Chains A and B, each alone.
Chain A
Amino acid sequence: MKIRVDPDKCQGHNRCYALAPDLFEVDDFGQSTAVGDGTVPSELHDAARLAVANCPEFAVEVVED
């Protein structure tokens, strides 16, 4: 599984970081990015889906399932 954050949609809610802190990095202005190349280890698949399903801006997406 691979995820990404669309930088044009992200408004810095940081819900992804709150729910799946191992998968996202947040800068000083709240902009979130996926850690590394976005590859999600299998034990964090549920956390990744939770992050996707909690973004109010629809900015977090699964790009490879």
Chain B
Amino acid sequence: MTNVRDWSSDYDIFDLDYVVDPYPIWDDLRSSCPIAHTERLGGSWLPTRYQDVTAIARDVEHFSSRNVGVVPPAEGDDVLLPVGVPPISADPPVHTWTRRLLLPWFSPRRVEEYERTTRALCQRLVGGFADAGHADAAADYAQQIPVRVIGVMLGVPDHLSDTFTGWVRDLLEFATDTPRRNKARAEMVNYFSGEMEARRNGSGDDLISVLLRSEVDGDPVPDGHILGTVALTLIAGVDTTWSAIGSALWHLATHDDDRRRLVAEPELLPTAIEELLRAYSPVTMARIVASDTEFEGCPMREGDRVLLNFPGANRDPAMFPDADRVVIDRQENRHVAFGAGIHRCAGSNLARMELRVALQEWLARIPEFRLAPGAQVTWAGGQVRGPRTVPVVF
């Protein structure tokens, strides 16, 4: 049972009912109070309309990215990561040069280089359970993919994948558990600081080594920025895409028509992927109000947190006719699963490739599957929403 009585003035993004089924709540808010407010977790605003979410995302003058967590920072965060995790946590001008350092790693051309590795990984994972007749599409498959692709990019050993996954979950999924979050942050920073020392003056072609050799305006990139960017690549590249893959497989397990059509008409995969990203967008980011402002009648004060509710924006019927229905050949689909404006997700091409390859390889081996009888599907929410267990049979 929900412990929230009034979603317009007391919402709770970690409420279990909301995490499992936020759609009717957003629908109610859009027609009654499209920008909700809460005092919980340090207080925040929650826009639910596409036009408001995208307007705030693009207004970098009034809405700063200096803290993008949906849960306020813990004491000491700035000691371990003194400049945050740029470019996501930076405003211009720092945003501009830190983003330019990272973007080439995620261009379509570069992402193509990771496709073969990703496909082999997916084939190995599916091969591990295809004959068993059952699997957990989230835990045995979706969760195993992005962390290993990011691991290749960072040049870190495969056997640390579970450790990385644990850190990311502690930092995002369990963000309200401050000791747990702090411990994960300290371990992650300690690990990457050590890797930076080990690779300094080296010739490696991984992201850490290349950033250590990079220059901006003739000067080396400060260590704090490299550490932050490397941490960001891990934090933003794991739970997000795994949630998108898991949601997509959950949808296909529970919607026979869509699954069979996609198997019969694989040419629909590109629009199907965008539609699944729209309908089950995993990521909510935050902004900090830079100076007192009134937005759509809401008196926002300097320092207030605003949640960029991309998942809610993508369900807005004013922008998407039949918004709560998945239409795998939807033609007009300007979804903002990867954000909008200058902070558009830097890894979106990589995420899209991983989602496409993960679905292709699953459907090639397991075209017919459904939720296991009596299956308990569980969802995580907050900064990133997605299924954690999706038991299926085939």
Contact = CB atoms under 8 A, between A and B. Distances in A.
Q: Are A and B bound to each other?
A: yes
Interface in B327-341: 331-336, 338, 340-341
Interface in B297-344: 331-336, 338, 340-342, 344
B103 A12 contact: yes
B349 interface: yes
Contacts, number: 61
Interface residues of B, number: 26
A28 B349 CA distance: 12
Contact of B333 (A11, A28, A29, A54): A54
B331 A29 contact: no
A47 B109 CA distance: 21
Contact of B336 (A49, A53, A56): A56
Contacts of B332: 53-54
Given A11-B341, A14-B348, A56 B335 contact: yes
B259 to A, nearest CB: 21
A28 B107 contact: yes
Nearest to A20: B270
A31 B368 CA distance: 39
Name B's interface SS: helix
Contacts of A53: 331-334
A31 to B, nearest CB: 9
Contacts of B349: 14, 18, 30
Contacts of B348: 13-14
A11 B342 contact: yes
Contacts of B344: 11-13, 30, 56
A57 B348 CA distance: 15
Interface string B145-168: 000000000000000000000000
A23 to B, nearest CB: 13
Interface string B81-118: 00000000000000000001001101111100000000
In this complex, which of A29, A53, A55 has the most chain B Cβ atoms within 10 angstroms of its Cβ? A29
A19 interface: yes
B128 to A, nearest CB: 29
Nearest to B332: A53
Given A29-B107, A54-B332, A13 B338 contact: yes
Interface residues of A, number: 21
A53 B333 CA distance: 6
A33 B332 CA distance: 20
B176 interface: no
Nearest to A32: B108
B352 interface: yes
Contacts of A65: none
Given A15-B274, A29-B104, A30-B103, 6 more contacts: A18-B274, A30-B344, A49-B331, A53-B333, A55-B334, A56-B336
18 contacts: A11-B341, A11-B342, A18-B274, A18-B352, A19-B274, A26-B109, A28-B103, A29-B104, A29-B107, A30-B344, A54-B274, A54-B334, A56-B54, A56-B334, A56-B335, A56-B340, A57-B341, A58-B334
Interface of B: 54, 100, 103-104, 106-110, 270-271, 274, 331-336, 338, 340-342, 344, 348-349, 352
By Cβ-Cβ distance, the 6 closest A-B pairs, closest first, are A53-B332, A28-B104, A11-B344, A29-B103, A56-B334, A28-B107
